[in-house]
Amino acid sequence: MKAVVFAQPGAADVLTLAERDQPTITPDEVLIRVKAAGVNRADVIQRKGLYPAPPGVAADIPGLEVAGVVQACGAAVTRFRVGDRVCALLAGGGYAEFVAVNAGHCLPVPENISFTDAAALPEALFTVWSNVFQRGRLQPGETFLVHGGTSGIGMAAIQLAKQLGSRVFATAGSEEKCRAAEAAGAERCINYKTTDFETALKSEGVDVILDMIGGDYFAKNISLLRPEGRLVFINSAKGAKVELNLMHVMSRRLTITGSTLRSREVEFKTALAAEIEQRVWPLVADGRFRANVYKVFPYGEAAAAHRLMESSEHIGKIVLEVP
């Protein structure tokens, strides 16, 4: 098979097409003929040598989510059959013509959803459901703030929180991006380059915050949280080391948590997929949740896709299409 690989860490141009052996499958896995693969910031960090693949996963092939057609099923797989349209969450290896994945990490692709749209769903939905609704325990009627509101995860979080009955606020880095976040369902999006989000939202108060920024956002997030508020981290782009006054946590009974998804147990991801299929997939199937694909590149142009990701000019998801 052909796959997008990098021989050594570096800039986007290290990504090249190369021949690799087709993966073999275990009894619990399916082999997917990939039609499209989502591009995520984690792929960029892996390409730079800062986020190595877990043991047993192709170290030189990025890609954490795909959509395609089941090509073969392991002996223990009963849910899917050859020819089924699926999308899947991966630990790596998605920028390729074929990928092997545990069948429990796959979801059926509705007939009205394209492969490019389907490939944009798994990483964002698994991340948002796990962090906002499981760890953050966001409830209908509560107020939710997401930073990076027009990232793939940000747009997914806005839509789901709105659809499930919460008030939603967001931050983004331009007026165009703010309008896109509001079109997705945010009540208000604050341009952090021109307005201090802490000042803008102080009178509102927030119950749950999803943060991928860290650094100097931390103190502002803590300031905004209402009693019993929850602050959930999925990245720390501006710095992982922060200073905390524990009295704020104790006096308002705050919860500070976070997670990473890639290294989680097979059983956790399987249970998460089942919950997403039950709670979120109906919204996908009837069009209430949109994939928000910003641009599609042929997979031979993965370097250009990574440069776009690093520019942060995109609104929503970037996808590679595999012929």
Give the tokens for residue 214: 């860290």
Q: What does the alpha-carbon distance between residue 107 and residue 249 come to, in Å, rounded to a whole number?
A: 39
Q: At residue 20, what is the residue type?
A: R
Residues 254 and 266 in one domain: no
Neighbours of 165 (CB within 10 A): 11
101 shares its domain with 19: yes
Distance CA 56, CA 73 (A): 19
**CA pair distance 42, 56, nearest whole angstrom:** 18
Q: Are residues 42 and 89 both part of a single domain?
A: yes
CATH code, 27: 3.90.180.10
**pLDDT value of residue 146:** 98
Give long-range contacts, CB 8 A cutoff, 24+ apart: 4-9: 4/61, 4/62, 4/63, 4/95, 4/96, 4/299, 4/300, 4/302, 4/320, 5/60, 5/61, 5/95, 6/47, 6/60, 6/62, 7/60, 8/49, 9/47, 9/48, 9/49, 9/50
Domain extent for 98? 2-121+262-321
pLDDT computed for residue 86 by the predictor: 98
Do 111 and 169 share a structural domain?
no
Q: Where a domain ends, among 258, 291, 309?
A: 258
Residue 249 shares a structural domain with residue 131? yes
CB atoms within 10 A of CB 12: 18
Dihedral angle sign, alpha carbons of residues 176, 177, 182, 183:
positive
Tell whether 12 and 88 lie within a shared domain. Answer: yes
Q: What is the pLDDT of residue 275?
A: 98
Q: Do 75 and 132 belong together in one domain?
A: no
| Per-residue pLDDT, 195 | 98
Amino acid at 283: L
Task: Choose one of 209, 238, 258: the last residue of a domain.
Answer: 258
pLDDT at 78: 96
Q: Say what the pLDDT of residue 283 is.
A: 97
Contact between residue 185 and residue 158 where contact means Cβ atoms under 8 Å apart: yes
Same domain, residue pair 132 and 253: yes
The verdict on 24 and 113 lying in the same domain is yes
Indicate if 279 and 238 belong to the same structural domain: no
Round to whole Å and give the CA distance between 177 and 149.
Answer: 8
Distances (CA, A) of 19 to 3, 16, 96, 98, 323: 6, 10, 10, 12, 15
Residues 6+ apart with CB under 8 A from 251: none
3-state secondary structure of 318: strand
Residues 8, 73: one domain? Answer: yes
Domain count, the chain: 2
- pTM of the entire structure? 0.96
Q: Given 258, 279, 295, which residue is the final one in a domain?
A: 258
Q: Specify the amino acid at residue 97.
A: E
Mapped onto helix, strand or coil, the DSSP state of residue 134 is helix
What's the confidence (pLDDT) of residue 238? 92
For the chain, which residues score pLDDT lower than 50?
Answer: none
- Do 23 and 70 sit in the same domain of this protein? yes
Which CATH number belongs to the domain containing residue 183 in this structure? 3.40.50.720
Whole-number pLDDT of residue 230:
98
